[in-house]
Chains A and B, each alone.
Chain A
Amino acid sequence: MKRTIRRLATPGFLFGSAIVLFWVICALFGPYLEPQNPYADDLMNPLAPPSFAHWFGTDQIGRDVFSRIIAGARSILSVAPAATLLSAVCGTTLGLITGYVGGWLDAVLSRLIDVILALPLIVVALVVLVALGPSSLNVTLVIALVFTPIIARTVRSAVLAECKLDYVPAAQLRDENALHIMFAEILPNILPPIVVEVTVRLGYAIFTVASLSFLGFGIQPPSADWGLSIAENYGLIVGGYGWTVGFAALATASLVVSVNLVAEGLQDALQ
């Protein structure tokens, strides 16, 4: 364990963690950090360029962009982790079942998983959100729905490898029931790859939530969500009002890259 922690302390992992931590703090303590109310309009001062009064300028109805960037961390950091967690639980269960029990259940589910994976996540999400209507809850469910088979696949491979080891047949000889073997015996041994996979999925969850907001199928106004801000304001780039989208883009990029650096660090350390 101690060796793992020491191996984690690479520049990439530390840098990534620092940025993620920064945004988590913004998400948790936003209202205390925002210099101005991110939702207050100022119709006399729309589209003002960055200045002392507004460090990142104002948007189309005069709201302070800097405050909105800080406030936006909360929405993306509530949906994405929730979706990832949900898919982790479902995917692990599904992977354990298909890997351990096998048989026709495994065959059928594998075919179904192939079909879902043949379609881009964004496209599947679009169809489901058209049916259910866009909302944070539905976005969470859709992403969990599509990530579950991906995680299940990884878990299934790991389970298949474990089943070749001695302790599994030994447990079967002891007449332990299947549930016990799956969750008490196998699961603890395959935690490291699951942790890595889940962290990587978190990065893609953030990616997908932001993209769905950009396409207009995610978080709703007046949220300061970064993807939504970009969707609302990218028509203004032509007029030279780049600050309304540039900072949100940089914020999103910094968050996804940092999460990925953390995932890479974890993967290197746990192997």
Chain B
Amino acid sequence: MTQAATLRAVARRAALSALTLLLLSMVVFAAGQILPGDVARSILGPLADARAVAALNHQLGTDAPPVLMYGRWIGHLLRGDMGLSYAYRSPVAPFIVNALGKSLLLAAVTSVIVVPLSIGAGIIAALKHGQWQDRLITLGGLSLTVVPEFVSGILLILVFGVWLRWLPISANTRPGTGALEQLRHLILPALPLVLILFGYISRIARAGMIEALESDYTRTATLKGLARRQVVIRHVLRNALLPTITVIAAQTSYLLGGLVVVETLFRYQGIGSLILTAARGKDYPMLEAGILTVGVAYIVSAILADVIIAVLDPRSQAARR
């Protein structure tokens, strides 16, 4: 694929994604309209006077036709105004930004743990192809992908937090705690997500490794005198990175859902637990903004993955030379 073709493909993908994004915003808005509850009543609370409620409703324009309200909503969004939270009576945007940052931090910790762990396990499985280590890693990895995050989370808490006392149970630290200590508190919350991704990534690394072990490239290189292990590992690492990115991108939507559960279990104030609190408290502006953010995050990560793959893919690199 030439560079021009790559750019065209990415541009097409971006356009399609923009369309999906637009449709997503419509779906989220429509869902928000059918949710039960009176807007002004939610803001003023159950004890407010009925006249005050009617006045606020009129002021907020909740009695306008839906299309007009949608237009207003999109207009505000594009200017960065995500509306006012019913519960906090203050702008939603700072809460979302703060929570998103925390979730991204957790995602980063997860990635840092899972990538070396799974690729390493995949390599070991391939080197011991057919033996008990291979079966253990393969079957174990596959099984772990279906264990719900709160289940593995609870078991991890009980073993590493309560029984062995190696890791702290709470994800939160006092403001002013050192960065290292803060990261240490994120290990247990990251582990359930790690376990879900482990199976997929290790399987791909293993497949890539096996293919590499049997390929011509390896035979040629070893004939030239290089250690087999070294050749294979370098080859695999270069090639495992791409599928790993694909896998993580494919699992993003799933993982973002997993964040809701993990953040609830560990009381971590990320975007997942923000959505849950907003859902429980019927804080619809917060809920809609949160869902849209999650949807956007998924779409953006998909495009990003495409771009990275297009840039790093050795086949496209070869064409460019």
B is bound to A: yes
Chain A interface (Cβ < 8 Å from any Cβ of B): 12, 111-112, 114-123, 126-127, 130-131, 203-204, 207, 210-211, 214-216, 227, 230, 234, 237-238, 240, 242, 245-246, 249-250, 252-253, 256-257, 259-261, 264
Whether B31 contacts A127 by the Cβ 8 Å rule is yes
- A246 and B155 contact, Cβ closer than 8 Å, known pairs A215-B276, A253-B147, A257-B147: yes
| A contact patch SS | helix
12 contacts between A and B (CB under 8 A): A116-B27, A118-B20, A118-B253, A120-B255, A120-B256, A126-B279, A210-B150, A215-B276, A230-B151, A237-B158, A245-B158, A253-B155
Say whether B148 contacts A256, CB under 8 Å: yes
Asked if residues B146 and A211 are in contact (CB atoms below 8 Å), the reply is: no
In whole angstroms, how far apart are the Cα atoms of A102 and B36 in the complex?
A: 37
Contact among A12, A240, A252 for B148, CB-based, below 8 A: A252
- Cβ B260 vs Cβ A215 within 8 A: yes
Q: Which of B19, B258, B260, B282 contacts A130 (CB 8 A)?
A: B282
* Chain B residues, Cβ within 8 Å of A240: 162
Complex CA–CA separation, A111 to B17 (angstroms):
10
Bound complex: CA A117 to CA B254 (Å):
9
B295 at the interface (CB under 8 A from A): yes
Given A215-B261, A237-B162, A240-B162, are A115 and B150 neighbors across the interface (CB < 8 Å)?
A: no
Could you tell me the distance in whole angstroms from the C-beta of B13 to the nearest C-beta in chain A? 12
The answer to whether B253 and A230 have CB atoms under 8 Å apart is no
Q: Tell me the complex Cα distance, A204–B258, Å.
A: 13
Residues of chain B contacted by A211 (CB below 8 angstroms): 148-150, 261
Q: A118-B298, A120-B294, A211-B149 are in contact. Are A230 and B23 (CB under 8 A)?
A: no
Q: Does B299 reach chain A (CB closer than 8 Å)?
A: yes
CB distance from B154 to the nearest CB of A (A): 4
Closest A residue to B294 by CB, please name it. A123
Q: Interface size for chain B: under 10, 10 to 19, 20 to 34, or 35 or more residues?
A: 35 or more
Please determine whether B162 and A120 come into contact, CB atoms closer than 8 angstroms. Answer: no
> Lowest 7 A-B CB distances belong to which pairs?
A120-B257, A122-B257, A249-B154, A257-B143, A260-B146, A126-B279, A115-B23
Could you tell me if A130 and B279 are in contact, using CB atoms closer than 8 angstroms? Answer: yes
In the complex, how many angstroms separate the beta carbon of B35 from the nearest chain A beta carbon?
5
User: In this assembly, does B310 line the interface, its C-beta being within 8 Å of a C-beta of chain A?
Assistant: no
Contact B287 A127 (CB under 8 A): yes
Given contacts A123-B260, A211-B149, A253-B155, contact A264 B142 (CB under 8 A): yes
Which chain A residue has the least Cβ–Cβ distance from B150? A214
Which of B19, B34, B150, B257 is the one whose CB lies under 8 Å from A123? B257
User: What B residues does A245 contact at CB under 8 A?
Assistant: 154, 158
A216 CB contacts on chain B under 8 angstroms: 280
* Contact between chains at B294 and A234 (CB < 8 Å): no
Residues of A within 8 A of B291 (CB): 119, 123, 127
Given the complex, which residues of A lie within 8 Å of B42, measured CB to CB?
none
Which of chain B's residues 16-58 have a Cβ closer than 8 Å to chain A? Answer: 19-20, 23-24, 27, 31, 34-36
B154 A246 Cβ-Cβ under 8 A: yes
| Cα-based distance from A237 to B161 in the complex (angstroms) | 10
Instruction: Determine which of B35, B146, B158, B282 lies in contact with A242 in the assembled complex, contact meaning CB atoms within 8 Å.
Output: B158
CB distance from A68 to the nearest CB of B (A): 16
Chain B residues within an 8 Å CB radius of A122: 257-258, 260-261
